[in-house]
């Protein structure tokens, strides 16, 4: 049996499969980025269509592909030379199905957020001369505690307060609380207000003393001068933590090799 030529043929077929998946992902990204800018161009008398709630073609086509095309695609990609392995014990189950709640997650964003197992963080998006804003801020999941935002930190509980020394930040500006695995932002009647920009680009002001739910990828702005802007992200591991753990693993491997 010519093992070398078999491995080369297998590698060539796998590269073709990877190229197909990469091409599909690139086409989806291009469609997602060009859909909104060209939605209202050249419609003429049909410009009233822009006021309608038209579903994104990527979402509609994506559901069709996930339901019918993805099982065949995964069987083709993961299968590889499965026809040449008949009679041998399988190392993985290609018949594994998607999660039972998958179709519910397509329609219910709240259920999808509750199923996410990562931690919620605030990442600064504006250029500020404050080193404390360069580190991500982890939100508190404890329903009995809240994260207070203001121009001064709470001396009694500095771990649950965020100090933003900017002109448009009130001393007690806002609070962030967690309830039923969802996060809410409450403006405490600040002078310059608190703003939220969702993932569709809609910006609105948070009403005072009323909790408003925010979601991942939203941008929270304390004040209106765009000096204290934070993007909400959900991550399993922070980038610098994963890099640090990778370095530690590398050092451990080096020590093992040196000991050997």
CA torsion, points 245, 251, 253, 258, in degrees to nearest 10?
A: -170
Examine residue 44 and state whether it is found in any structural domain, yes or no.
no
Examine residue 162 and state whether it is found in any structural domain, yes or no.
yes
Are 125 and 226 contained in the same domain? yes
Are 231 and 126 contained in the same domain? yes
Examine residue 110 and state whether it is found in any structural domain, yes or no.
no
Q: What is the pLDDT of residues 176-196, one digit of tens each?
A: 999 888 899 999 998 889 999
Are 150 and 64 contained in the same domain? no
Considering its fold, how many domains does the chain have in total? 2
Examine residue 154 and state whether it is found in any structural domain, yes or no.
yes
Question: What are the phi and psi torsion angles at 167 (to 5°)?
Answer: -60, -35
Q: What percent of the chain is modeled with pLDDT above 70?
A: 65
Q: 90 pLDDT band (50/70/90 cuts)?
A: low
CA torsion, points 62, 105, 220, 156, in degrees to nearest 10?
A: -150
Q: What confidence score (pLDDT) does residue 56 get?
A: 65
Residue 10 has pLDDT above 90, yes or no: no
Question: Which of 81, 99, 132 represents a domain boundary (last residue)?
Answer: 81
Question: What are the phi and psi torsion angles at 194 (to 5°)?
Answer: -130, 135
Mean pLDDT of 211-228: 89
Please state the pTM of the whole predicted model.
0.55
Are 75 and 126 contained in the same domain? no
Report the range out of 11-20, 31-40, 120-129 with the highest average pLDDT: 11-20
Examine residue 59 and state whether it is found in any structural domain, yes or no.
yes
Q: What is the pLDDT of residues 21-80, one digit of tens each?
A: 888 788 777 766 655 544 555 566 776 766 776 666 666 677 777 777 777 776 766 665
Are 126 and 70 contained in the same domain? no
Mean pLDDT of 11-28: 81
Examine residue 242 and state whether it is found in any structural domain, yes or no.
no
Q: Burial level of 197, CB count in 10 A (0-12/13-18/19+)?
A: middle
Are 59 and 143 contained in the same domain? no
Are 155 and 212 contained in the same domain? yes
Give dist(CA 98, CA 205) in Å, integer: 39
Are 60 and 150 contained in the same domain? no
More confident residue, 108 or 36: 108
Residue 259 has pLDDT above 80, yes or no: no
Which range of residues forms the domain containing residue 13? 1-38+54-81
Examine residue 63 and state whether it is found in any structural domain, yes or no.
yes
Are 169 and 71 contained in the same domain? no
Give dist(CA 112, CA 106) in Å, integer: 8
More confident residue, 173 or 118: 173
Q: CATH no. for residue 194?
A: 2.60.200.20
Examine residue 92 and state whether it is found in any structural domain, yes or no.
no
Residue 162 has pLDDT above 60, yes or no: yes
Mean pLDDT of 228-252: 64
Among 61-70, 113-122, 135-144, 203-212, the range scoring the smallest mean pLDDT is 61-70
Q: What confidence score (pLDDT) does residue 118 get?
A: 82
Rounded to the nearest integer, the mean pLDDT of the chain is 74
Give dist(CA 229, CA 223) in Å, integer: 9
């Amino acid at each position: 049996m010519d093992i070398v030529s078999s491995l080369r043929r297998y590698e060539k077929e796998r590269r073709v499969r990877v190229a197909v998946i990469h091409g599909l992902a690139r086409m989806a990204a291009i469609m997602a980025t060009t859909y909104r800018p060209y939605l209202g161009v050249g419609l003429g008398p049909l410009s009233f269509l822009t006021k309608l709630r038209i579903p994104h073609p990527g979402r509609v086509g994506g559901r069709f592909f996930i339901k019918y095309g993805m099982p065949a695609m995964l069987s083709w990609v993961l299968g590889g030379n499965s026809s040449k392995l008949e009679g041998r014990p399988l190392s993985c189950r290609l018949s594994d199905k998607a999660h039972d709640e998958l179709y519910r997650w397509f329609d219910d964003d709240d259920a999808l957020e509750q199923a996410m197992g990562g931690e919620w963080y605030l990442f600064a998006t504006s250029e500020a001369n404050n080193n404390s804003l360069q580190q991500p801020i982890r939100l508190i999941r404890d329903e009995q505690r809240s994260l207070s935002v203001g121009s001064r930190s709470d001396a009694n509980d500095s771990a649950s307060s965020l100090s933003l020394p900017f002109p448009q930040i009130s001393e007690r500006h806002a609070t962030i609380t967690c309830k039923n695995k969802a996060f809410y932002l409450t403006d405490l009647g600040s002078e310059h207000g608190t703003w939220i920009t969702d993932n569709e680009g809609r910006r609105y002001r948070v009403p005072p003393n009323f909790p408003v739910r925010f979601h991942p990828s939203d941008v929270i702005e304390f004040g209106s001068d765009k000096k204290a802007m934070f993007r909400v992200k959900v991550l399993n591991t922070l980038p610098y933590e994963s890099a640090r753990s990778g370095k530690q693993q590398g050092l451990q491997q080096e020590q093992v090799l040196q000991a050997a």
